[in-house]
Amino acid sequence: QQQVKQSPQSLIVQKGGISIINCAYENTAFDYFPWYQQFPGKGPALLIAIRPDVSEKKEGRFTISFNKSAKQFSLHIMDSQPGDSATYFCAASSSGNTPLVFGKGTRLSVIA
């Protein structure tokens, strides 16, 4: 069964701290790993994505780390801000022609 397991379910981080969300997958055919950010009352929006040919991708304060051998990837949010408080979903798909499989989400709260 194609699954993406995401942890933790919820996370509270102090302002300025590092938020880390982890995902694990089983299907070795997955070759696209995006993270989506969802604010209350809004639809999810693509935050950052990585392919397995690189081990890390950074965009501003957001970094994806990818470990192909362990079949794990994670999102790091550096210098976390209250405006980062949202629900984050990891996902995976194979060759863009199969549906995205989403993790169950992590609710992040950044407190001042």
Partner 1 sequence: EAQVTQNPRYLITVTGKKLTVTCSQNMNHEYMSWYRQDPGLGLRQIYYSMNVEVTDKGDVPEGYKVSRKEKRNFPLILESPSPNQTSLYFCASSPRGYEQYFGPGTRLTVT
First to last CA, the chain: 41
Query: Which stretch, 15-23, 59-67, 68-76, 89-97, contacts partner 1 (CB under 8 A)?
Result: 89-97
Torsion of CA 39, 104, 56, 69, to 10 degrees: 180
Q: In angstroms, give the least distance from the CB of 5 to partner 1.
A: 11
Contact status: 15 vs partner 1 (CB under 8 A): no
Out of 70, 83, 96, 112, the residue judged to bind partner 1 by CB under 8 A? 96
Asked if residue 6 lies in contact with residue 108, where contact means CB atoms within 8 angstroms, the answer is: no
Q: Please give the helix or strand (H or E) that residue 62 lies within, else none.
A: strand 62-67
Shorter beta-carbon distance to partner 1: residue 34 or 74: 34
Shorter beta-carbon distance to partner 1: residue 17 or 87: 87
